[in-house]
Structure 1
Amino acid sequence: MSTVLRFQPALGDWITHNLDAGAPSAGLVDAMVGQGMSARAAQAIVDAFVAARQQGTAPPLDQVALPDDEPARPIVPRARLAPGHRIAAADRVVTVQARGHDPVWAALGPVLDADECRALIDMARPRLRPSTLVDPASGRDVVSRQRSSWGMFFRPGENALVARLDRRLSALMNLPLENGEGLQLLHYPAGAGSEPHHDYLAPTNAANRASVARSGQRVSTLVTYLNDVPAGGQTVFPQLGLAFSPVQGHACYFEYGDGRGGVDPRCLHASTPVEEGEKWVVTKWMRERRFVSAGEAADG
């Protein structure tokens, strides 16, 4: 028995484009799941396109047969964070205060010392701008009501402190230095927070697709808190029942990419509004391979 599953032709165009570009089928399935489609449906649609290519036939236009008894394909976590209670991270040993394995997450600290936290805030303060989110349709950075913070980016290795932290965080996250995006610093004043979102790049616009083609998908995130927040400002994961309190120098770490383009939507997270004081954080994102910015690609 099977059920007819209908989909928009635009989805078929996106699948064809990515298969033509050499994207793995598993990554396409996981990206579709990340956008809210069931794993069974996503797998059936992608399988139909792959089969058509292998058989030299026309791909489906707007429907496929969905087997009624086909089981969902689980995401198998692949931990990158080193085992043990203490992790050597270049020039510092970091304590693992708590961790989980499916998906991989950890509470770490201290990752930065107080002087490093204050120095980052001082360097960032004159460069802060209203934070933006990527518009799903256009791929452009736009100011959004979903995030009421202020932010800026440091260039990778732009000064001695940033270079030292880039090395430390890449060692802690257990991926090559070149895979890291530039550090992002965010400032949340009283009342500010962010709504639930994913850190991986959904293939909903040309800018995201181009970024993934250059550098691979994001696979892990490290959020380090630069100050103590008296109340509010927690990093929460609604699907996992986790909440990380902002304590100076300590960090929230989580993995969501399998290294083959697949992503885990359970790592949906948000920042609760700051109830008292303010909140400063610095975020490190890691890619599957060497990070190449749009500017570098244009210059090259």
Structure 2
Amino acid sequence: MGKLKATKRKPEMPEKGRDESNKQKMAQKMAEERALEIEKFEIAAASFTKQVIAAFAIVLILIFLGAIIFALLSRGNGGVHSPTAEQKIAAQKCAGKTGVPEADMLEEEIEELEKSEKTTEGEKEEGEMPPDDTEPKSEPKEMPTEKPTKATPSPKLEKKSPDSEDRLPEKIREFEPTILDRLKVRNVSVDGRQLRYREVKPTKDVDTNVRVYLFDNFLTARECEGLMGAHTRHVQEAAKHDPIICFDSIKTLRNHLKDAGVKVKVSSRDFTEGTKCLNGSFSSQLKQHFHWSYSTSFYPGESKFSATFERRVAAATGLKVENGGKFQITSYAQGIGYKSHTDCVVGSRDQRDRFATILVYLQDVPEGGETKFTELGIAVKPTKGMAIVWNNMTPDGNCDPTSLHDASKVKKGHKFIIQRWYYYKSFYSLGKRSPEPTLPARETGQPRVSCDEYEHGSCRWYDEWNYDHIVEYEAQKLSLA
């Protein structure tokens, strides 16, 4: 028998060793699976991030393209969404930032106009402020300082923004103006008194639409005395403060200084910033060199007399109550008058202008003080209670230059009048008292003196402030209807 070949057997792994080996394999497998999952997650996260970035980029591109399209559309619509400088100023005024009366501003700034490119020689003078020759002012007087007689080229109308009127208060948008295009003078009976008219015919051969009528005893002696007393007391109360003196231009200031024999160099720097008024101290220094008439005003509804007066005027003249402005009492001391002017603006296309004037003398004037129509050859002597009424415009709404008139200087005595203007086309703010501007800085109740265009105006003291002396307002008026 052959010998059996011995084979070497591998020793068997103990049970404990086998378990540990299996655990290592399982741990290794789990680690590999976890690493695979992490790798898959990282790949998915990277893909999602790329998608988010791509989506965000697309959104940015769409926004940018939308902005470009919006800008192009806005430009194509005439800039409706981008307010002009004038619109921004108007909006600030509406919000009360500049203190401009709401009603007055809305009536003046509904329609924008292009600024006139024509500059007068006087405006070219160094430091000279632009004179206002384009708009009727709101200051009342027998010889209104706010109504220069010379005509200026009317600026061209601009197209209104489609939503310009939509921004106005409803009461303004719905206001319906009335037209006053003729006098209807008649004899009437008032409180048992007969008011009879007579027409004063021109003594000059002139082509004119102007008609001048007189009514004796239009106001009673008691009414005249009451009005003079109220005016005098109000002037005395306001005269506790020296007035601030304002001029329509630096040229007018220089001419007045020349007339007064005052040799002092002045420039636009002498005016309070933002206004055409001298400061308080300079005004006080010049007070002794200037002379003026005095005017106080009251408005419809502020007294029983206002309703009595306007009803009487309507009955005797046909002048519509709704086309009337404020009432103004004016007094002229000895040596004071007012230069030739028209109450409407010659050459203006704006029919919101003074169609007719009624003026009543409150006392006799011994010498001087006549109301003279220089183109017609008519002169009316002041007689207590007498009313004089005339039209300034033609039936089609144009200012008639032959309505030129003046107030002769009072040579003896003291002249008192009450007057009211009636407008061809009424407007919302007509006859309404508006808030006063904050400029220039002044004491409560401090009056002003306005010296208007030198050739066709004089200086007048007022108990109220308007906006004609505000530089920004005047600049806007040059581009507004």
TM-score, normalization by structure 1:
0.62
CA contact (8 A) 2:361 2:418 kept: yes
1:97 maps to 2:198:
yes
Match of 1:162 in 2: 306
CA contact (8 A) 1:232 1:272 kept: yes
Q: Give the alignment's Cα RMSD to 1 decimal.
A: 4.2
CA 1:224 to 1:80, structure 2 compared with 1: closer, same or farther past 3 Å? same
CA 1:81 to 1:187, structure 2 compared with 1: closer, same or farther past 3 Å? same
Tell me which amino acid in the other structure corresponds to 1:170: A
Match of 2:401 in 1: 265
Q: 1:257: how far off?
A: 1.6
1:80 maps to 2:224:
no
Spell out the pairing of 1:108-127 with structure 2 (5 A cutoff). Answer: 108-127=215-234
- Structure 2 distance, partners of 1:245, 1:96, is 16
Which among 300, 311, 329 is matched to residue 185 of structure 1? 329
1:35 maps to 2:150:
yes
- Structure 1 distance, partners of 2:330, 2:302, is 18
Q: Secondary structure at the match of 2:326?
A: coil
1:238 maps to 2:362:
no
CA contact (8 A) 1:148 1:192 kept: yes
CA 1:35 to 1:139, structure 2 compared with 1: closer, same or farther past 3 Å? farther
Per-residue deviation, residues 211-244 of structure 1 (Å, max 9, x unmatched): x57xx21100011000011111100111111100
Spell out the pairing of 1:1-300 with structure 2 (5 A cutoff). Answer: 9-10=117-118, 35=150, 79-82=182-185, 86-87=187-188, 93-100=194-201, 102-128=209-235, 135=248, 148-201=292-345, 216-290=352-426, 292-293=429-430
Q: 1:136: how far off?
A: 8.1
Tell me which amino acid in the other structure corresponds to 2:195: V
Q: 1:158: how far off?
A: 1.1
Per-residue deviation, residues 56-103 of structure 1 (Å, max 9, x unmatched): xxxxxxxxxxxxxxxxxxxxxx641325xx245798642113334842
Q: 1:146: how far off?
A: 10
Runs (5+) with no aligned partner, structure 2: 1-115, 120-133, 135-147, 160-180, 202-207, 251-273, 284-288, 437-481
- Structure 2 distance, partners of 1:224, 1:188, is 14
Q: 1:157: how far off?
A: 2.6
CA contact (8 A) 1:131 1:147 kept: no
Q: 1:260: how far off?
A: 4.1
CA contact (8 A) 1:192 1:273 kept: yes
Which structure has more relative contact order (CA 8 Å, sep 6+)? It is 2
Q: Secondary structure at the match of 1:103?
A: coil
- Structure 2 distance, partners of 1:172, 1:181, is 18
CA 1:263 to 1:113, structure 2 compared with 1: closer, same or farther past 3 Å? same
CA contact (8 A) 1:107 1:244 kept: no
Q: 1:186: how far off?
A: 0.4
CA contact (8 A) 2:299 2:432 kept: no
- Structure 2 distance, partners of 1:294, 1:249, is 24
- Structure 2 distance, partners of 1:146, 1:92, is 43
Per-residue deviation, residues 2-25 of structure 1 (Å, max 9, x unmatched): xxxxxx7449xxxxxx9xxxxxxx
CA 1:141 to 1:115, structure 2 compared with 1: closer, same or farther past 3 Å? farther
CA 1:266 to 1:287, structure 2 compared with 1: closer, same or farther past 3 Å? same
CA contact (8 A) 2:325 2:420 kept: yes
- Structure 2 distance, partners of 1:160, 1:82, is 24
TM-score, normalization by structure 2:
0.40
Per-residue deviation, residues 88-137 of structure 1 (Å, max 9, x unmatched): 57986421133348421112222101000011111222223789999389
- Structure 2 distance, partners of 1:174, 1:133, is 37
Tell me which amino acid in the other structure corresponds to 2:398: G
- Structure 1 distance, partners of 2:190, 2:117, is 47
- Structure 1 distance, partners of 2:188, 2:275, is 37
- Structure 2 distance, partners of 1:161, 1:141, is 34
Q: How many pairs were matched up?
A: 228
Q: Secondary structure at the match of 1:182?
A: strand
Match of 2:80 in 1: none
Question: Quick one: percent identity of the two aligned structures?
Answer: 24
Q: Secondary structure at the match of 1:120?
A: helix
Specify the structure having the higher radius of gyration (Cα): 2
CA 1:10 to 1:172, structure 2 compared with 1: closer, same or farther past 3 Å? farther
More strand by share: 1
Q: 1:196: how far off?
A: 0.6
- Structure 1 distance, partners of 2:347, 2:377, is 27
Q: 1:181: how far off?
A: 0.9
- Structure 2 distance, partners of 1:173, 1:158, is 23
Match of 1:58 in 2: none
Tell me which amino acid in the other structure corresponds to 1:239: E
- Structure 1 distance, partners of 2:246, 2:375, is 22
Per-residue deviation, residues 188-220 of structure 1 (Å, max 9, x unmatched): 01111111111114688xxxx9xx57xx21100
